[in-house]
């Protein structure tokens, strides 16, 4: 699966405007694991299965893109966009 740094995890969570508790719940990992992941600016020293679970959640939103080990961005929709108001 993918990998990310603790700093990227904090940034991605902030972009989605979710709490640490929400991230833990959506990823099916413990809150202490999220605290540990976000406590470093480097690749977290957590179980790979936990890193994969959090990465999978971010990927499943369809909004978060990790670039290298220092950048996170929100994907923009350019094709297939449907205006729900029409």
pLDDT band at 78 (very low <50, low <70, confident <90, very high): low
* Residue 60 in this model has a pLDDT that exceeds 50: yes
Q: In this structure, what token pair is assigned to residue 42? A: 């480097």
- Full-model pTM: 0.82
Which helix (H) or strand (E) element contains residue 74? strand 71-74
**Residue linked to tokens 């470093």:** 40
Pairing of strands 71-74, 64-67: antiparallel
Report, at the CATH architecture level, how domain 6-74 is classified: Orthogonal Bundle (1.10)
pLDDT band at 68 (very low <50, low <70, confident <90, very high): confident
> Interior CA angle at 70 toward 57 and 42, to 5°?
80
- Domain ranges for the chain: 6-74
């Amino acid at each position: 699966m993918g990998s990310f740094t603790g700093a990227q995890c904090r940034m991605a969570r902030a972009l989605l405007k979710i709490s640490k508790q929400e991230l833990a719940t959506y990823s099916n990992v413990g809150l202490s694991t999220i605290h540990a992941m976000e406590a470093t600016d480097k690749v977290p020293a957590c179980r790979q299965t936990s890193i994969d679970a959090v990465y999978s959640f971010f990927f499943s939103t369809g909004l978060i893109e990790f670039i290298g080990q220092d950048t996170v961005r929100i994907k923009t929709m350019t094709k297939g966009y449907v205006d729900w108001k029409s």
